[in-house]
Chain A
Amino acid sequence: MYNFEIEKPATIADAVKALGRDEAQPLSGGQTLIPTLKARLAAPSVLVSLHGIDEMKGVCLDDDGRLCIGGATIHSVVAKEAQAHYPALAGLAARIGDPAVRNRGTIGGSVANNDPSACYPAAVLASGATVVTNKREIAADDYFQGMFATALEEGEIVTEVKFPIPQSAHYEKHIQPASRFPLVAAFVAKYADGVRVAITGASEDGVFRWTEAEEMLSNSFAADGLKGLTVDGSGMISDLHGSGEYRAHLVGVMTRRAVAAMGG
């Protein structure tokens, strides 16, 4: 690792100020960033730790009934505190990485990084959630912009994510056992006005909505109805863990399993 300073602001305002310094980068749980720094794939001169910002922590319901999760909330807290309100989301948080990783990694870090195989982006997109930053609110459909790419600007921090709570939902993942990331995973969320399906781990463009499946499921919520529906493997990630065709196949399998788990 190249060396850097670490700043530990206690408020969002101080964090934003610190991020104005030259070559500054936010540090949330560090479960992706620290390995990245070790590999010298990043060389910030200042890391601004978001860990001590209490106003960015916690799980609550807002006046519109949305589940609001502070950006610096760790996965293990979401796993416990979201359970009563949004069990599919709590279940997703409870299966990220391993227990020690879940005690450091945060929702804000995951959403800001937008790893093409991360779990949270699937929940955020399938729920039509709102990503709140220190500057603005961004709809999930506008937020995710490709592999590791988001609508975030330089120095902008994810302070909160607001999830409309679905009637029912399920997250189904096929785990890649070495990395513990999903090889492919599907998050299906059923709302009064329709079904949303988000897929992670598969596309070279990162998390995406499988709109054909959404249309079919919104008409008739049945796993069997998706059987003839396929996804093109050409834009899918192809690596030593699986070919693009294999991932495309898993998109269908994971989605059908999620729908079946929801009783469809």
Chain B
Amino acid sequence: MTKVTMTVNGKSASGDVEGRTLLVEFLRENLGLTGTHVGCDTSQCGACVVHVDGEAVKACTMFAVEAQGAEVATIEGQAAPDGTLNTIQQAFQDHHGLQCGFCTPGMVMSAAALLKDNPKPTEAEIRHYLDGNICRCTGYHNIVKAIMAASGQDVSRIAAE
């Protein structure tokens, strides 16, 4: 076992892990942060997307020891401490950007990473950026709408084709 220490949602977190312990396992099992989901476990679906040092990564395809010393952000750290949703989360609620909710943590974290680099993405840019996030309810149009809305853009022209 190796001791790892990282900052998760602004707080220091540490634990003993095996070499093979994935970052997502450390978050879910050691820290009890079960908002980060494991969908496919093969890095296809993006339900496990978290930010490591500000960049979106798939927490199922990175070992916990590789995050030693890193700043990790998960879905649990997105809302304010009093539970007020952040802009992206609120937009997902307002625009029905979630159905079963399984993919939502990854969608929100991917959306946050996109808007950090590209504050006013086009619809096509959003769809392209979400290449690695799969919604099993196929609710993509409302997810795209929510991200457009979170970036302060008009969503009325997004057609559900």
Contacts and interface: CB of A to CB of B under 8 A. Distances in A.
- Most chain B C-beta atoms within 10 Å of own C-beta, residue among A2, A100, A104: A100
Contacts of A30: 61-63, 66
B56 interface: yes
B132 A99 contact: yes
B2 interface: yes
Contacts, number: 77
Contact of A101 (B20, B22, B65, B132): B132
Interface string B63-94: 10110100000000000000000000000000
B131 A104 contact: no
Nearest to B106: A100
The interface size bin for chain A is 20 to 34
B132 A6 contact: no
A100 B49 contact: yes
A1 B20 contact: yes
Nearest to B113: A99
A100 B132 contact: yes
B24 to A, nearest CB: 11
B128 to A, nearest CB: 9
A35 B43 contact: yes
The interface size bin for chain B is 20 to 34
Given A6-B19, A51-B66, A104-B62, A99 B43 contact: no
Contacts of B132: 97-101, 180
B44 interface: yes
A239 to B, nearest CB: 17
Interface string A1-39: 111111010000000000000000001001100110110
Interface string A95-114: 00111110110000000000
Contacts of A49: 63, 65-66
A35 B114 CA distance: 25
A159 interface: no
A43 to B, nearest CB: 11
B53 to A, nearest CB: 10
A31 B66 CA distance: 13
Contact of A6 (B46, B61, B65): B65
B123 interface: no
- Most chain A C-beta atoms within 10 Å of own C-beta, residue among B20, B22, B52: B20
B56 A31 contact: no
B65 A8 contact: yes
Given A27-B63, A98-B133, A99-B113, 13 more contacts: A6-B63, A6-B66, A34-B63, A37-B20, A47-B63, A97-B132, A99-B110, A99-B114, A99-B132, A100-B46, A100-B56, A103-B56, A178-B44
17 contacts: A3-B20, A5-B19, A6-B63, A31-B61, A34-B62, A34-B63, A35-B43, A38-B42, A49-B65, A98-B132, A99-B110, A99-B114, A99-B132, A100-B57, A100-B132, A103-B55, A104-B57
Closest 4 CB pairs of A and B: A98-B132, A98-B131, A103-B55, A6-B19
